[in-house]
Amino acid sequence: MSYENNLMMAVFWQSADDSGPFLGILEFAAAVENVLPISLTCRKWNFILNKNPVTCERIWRRIAQKAYDTQEFEELERIYPEFNFSAWKDLICIKELAYLKVYHGKMGKMIQRLFWVFLIERIEPYRELYWKADHCGLRDYLECRVSQQSEMRTRFGHEVCTRERGIFRFDVCIEESLIRLEEGRFIEVAYRDHTYTVIHFQEECQKIHLWFNVLGLTENDYKIARPIRKRHDNLNGDGTIRVEVVLDNWEYAPHI
């Protein structure tokens, strides 16, 4: 390796993040006298994997399909059929970074599905996740909470830009084995822009149906009330839509 390449490699090592694959690529490129062919090849790969809709959709779908068993993959396609290749990439990222203890509980698979579907919809599917972690192997436990926005920063390096009009958050807390509902088994769904939500109420109800569909419930298992104007700030929204859970079969949905 020439002096120039050695110097270039030193700069890369100082400036790059400590990530194995990235540094491996840089080290390989620096070892080659003529980097241009590698650069052109990488551009072609990027076009095939991330730009060309004919190829990238098929490739990322196959990659995601290998990450799940047949039955679960079919369920994912049924829950949210409006796919594009970036949705498949998000699905893989969510599965690979499901490291928190709450993801390994009874609700773990459900949380991942909610996170994935409503990431596409730009809606927060829960207010926070809650679990108890062992404290240094002792009998004491630490109560752990994480918001959906914190999860976004951890997984993707940025927060999700939620919808400016209509439903943008389901105000529920999800634990390891259940969804914690309000008194009377109600779920509050926050929205922005009261006028828009009232005019497009049926469209917004589809977001609620999708949320319950991920949980495996049908439209007969809950009742959706009309929007009620309550708040007047961007953080909490302009109002809420109250959904009453009327399901009585606990064996069918033990997390409710």
Question: Domain for residue 139, yes or no?
Answer: yes
Question: Domain for residue 194, yes or no?
Answer: yes
Q: How many domains does the chain have?
A: 1
Give the whole-angstrom CA distance, residue 168 versus residue 160: 11
Q: Which SS3 state, helix, strand or coil, does residue 28 take? A: helix
pLDDT tens readout for residues 122-153? 999 999 988 887 666 555 567 888 888 887 77
Q: Which of 186, 197, 174, 184 is nearest to 242 (CA)?
A: 186
Question: Domain for residue 138, yes or no?
Answer: yes
pLDDT tens readout for residues 34-85? 777 777 887 888 888 888 877 887 888 888 888 888 888 888 888 776 667 6
> What is the predicted pLDDT for the residue at 81?
67
Question: Domain for residue 22, yes or no?
Answer: no
Domain holding 170, by residue range, is 97-256
